[in-house]
Amino acid sequence: MSDASLYLNEITKNKLRLHDGISLSGAISKSVDRLNFIVSIEEKYLKDLFSEMEWKILREISKGTKFEPASLIPGIFLGIVNITPESIFTKHGVSRRILNSKLTGLSISQDFSLVDLLERSRP
């Protein structure tokens, strides 16, 4: 990946929590480092939580979903699972009830990490 320009509007500046004593580059690096740390830890948990077939269903039913803005992410998978036809679960031999139970137990950081994992698994 080549170097790229970054357009920074006021909303993004506020989200970076810029303050005296920290450069724009420093603020971006700090935010990315913290996000990466959280996602890396949660990934390990999530990979063990879901079976191979549950992962397959999650990838299938979230295909084409834009997980933006970030405020939509917490709990989004419960909504997607609940509107998915039962035939998808039957086809993969997965219990909707068990998958719902696992998704209900996720923390906000795990929801975001799940989105990250699924987005990176897209072709």
Q: Where are the domains of the chain?
A: 10-120
pLDDT of residue 104: 96
Contact 119, 113 (CB under 8 A): no
pLDDT tops 90 at residue 102: yes
* pLDDT at residue 2, as a whole number: 63
Q: What is the pLDDT of residues 1-44, one digit of tens each?
A: 567 787 888 888 888 887 778 888 888 899 999 999 999 999 99
d(CA 88, CA 78): 15
* pTM for this entry: 0.83
Q: Burial-class residue 28 by CB neighbours within 10 Å (0-12, 13-18, 19+).
A: middle
Specify the amino acid at residue 96.
R
Instruction: Give per-residue pLDDT as tens, 57-97.
Output: 999 999 989 999 999 999 999 999 999 999 999 999 999 99
